[in-house]
Amino acid sequence: MRMFSDLFLWVTIATLLLLALELIAGRHRGVYSKGDFPLLLGSFFLGRWLMVPLSTGLKAWLLGFVTTQYQGALSGTPFWLAFPLLLLVNEFCFYWVHRWAHAGSASRYPMLWKIHRTHHSGKHMNLSLLVRLNLSWFFIIPIGWVSATAVYLGLGEAALACILTVQVWNMITHSSFRWDDTIRRHRLFGPLFRAAEHVFVSPGIHHTHHGYGKDGKHYRNFGTVLTFWDWVFGTLHIPEGRPSRYGLPGPNPHWTEELFYPLVGSWRKQEKTAEPAATSRASIP
């Protein structure tokens, strides 16, 4: 466990260094609106220091309330088997929650989009998106439920490794630095890289998910680490280039709605905001 705490520290340091490089390179200059700053500050401080402990406590209580019969039941499972299986399960759960969220008003769960859209409303692509989250999302995101269940079953090290992997991958795929562009255009390595994108999420794969217009596909690429489930369920889009625009077309709701919905306000019909393209382009069961 000490090893994982050290790794989390190094990942935090790497994220801060990458953020500093983005700032030095001007990747954050002129991309924010007035409401973005209180939204980001509220999401970071209230999300990380209030919602995370609350949601963690809720999950632990629910697991203990439902049953104590299976506590530690899988503790003998070797790490080499537990970790990839846990990552695969987490990606499967996240894929469907994420896909349902992007279905918008056509979904049986329209509130999911109104909660998740906060992460997509930033009209830029950089590390600030990692903390651009509606507070309710901390209770919904599958990694919390999957890892809590894994710890309950005795797979603590595999759960920590899964969380760490997701954090590292999110840092890589949300960054404004696109090292994959050069590889994708390479005569020899380009085809190999595209083949690998049928399994793993690259920056290009996720940037496309945050974009619209040319090579922007909000209704594709729902995985965090793995594109495997997108490939299986027919929602994988491997881009040719970068999206022409990031974010969502049209005006954003007030930052208090983006942060606190559904506790604060509801979208006014006269202030029509963009629904995700999935409502007309992807069939959600």
Sequence length of the chain is 285
* Distance, CA of 243 to CA of 207 (rounded, Å): 7
Determine what percent of the chain is predicted with pLDDT higher than 70: 91
Residue 73 corresponds to which tokens in the numbers above?
């039941």
pLDDT digits (tens, 9 = 90+) for 69-114: 888 899 999 999 999 999 999 999 999 999 999 987 566 678 999 9
CB count in 10 Å sphere of residue 277: 18
CB-count burial class (<10 Å; 0-12, 13-18, 19+) for 89: middle
The answer to whether position 24 is within a domain reads no
pLDDT digits (tens, 9 = 90+) for 197-212: 999 999 999 999 999 9
Q: What mean pLDDT do residues 245-257 have?
A: 93
* Distance, CA of 218 to CA of 210 (rounded, Å): 6
The answer to whether position 151 is within a domain reads yes
The mean pLDDT of the chain is 89
Give me the pLDDT at residue 240, please: 84
Give me the pLDDT at residue 276, please: 57
Indicate whether 272 pLDDT > 50: no
Residue 207 carries which side chain, given as an amino acid letter?
H
Number of domains in the chain: 1
- In the beta sheet, which residues pair with residue 149? none
Give the residue carrying structure tokens 């999420």: 201
Q: By residue range, what is the domain housing residue 150? A: 2-8+35-281
260 close to 216: Cβ distance less than 8 angstroms:
no
| Residue 54 Cα to chain centre, angstroms | 20
* Distance, CA of 47 to CA of 152 (rounded, Å): 23
Residue 240 corresponds to which tokens in the numbers above?
């040719």
Give me the pLDDT at residue 225, please: 98
Indicate whether 2 pLDDT > 80: no
The answer to whether position 30 is within a domain reads no
The answer to whether position 26 is within a domain reads no
User: What backbone torsions phi and psi does residue 200 show, to the nearest 5 degrees?
Assistant: -115, 145
pLDDT digits (tens, 9 = 90+) for 134-157: 999 999 999 999 999 999 999 999
* Distance, CA of 101 to CA of 111 (rounded, Å): 8
Q: Which of 11, 13, 36, 242 is nearest to 131 (CA)?
A: 36
Indicate whether 271 pLDDT > 60: no
Give me the pLDDT at residue 107, please: 62
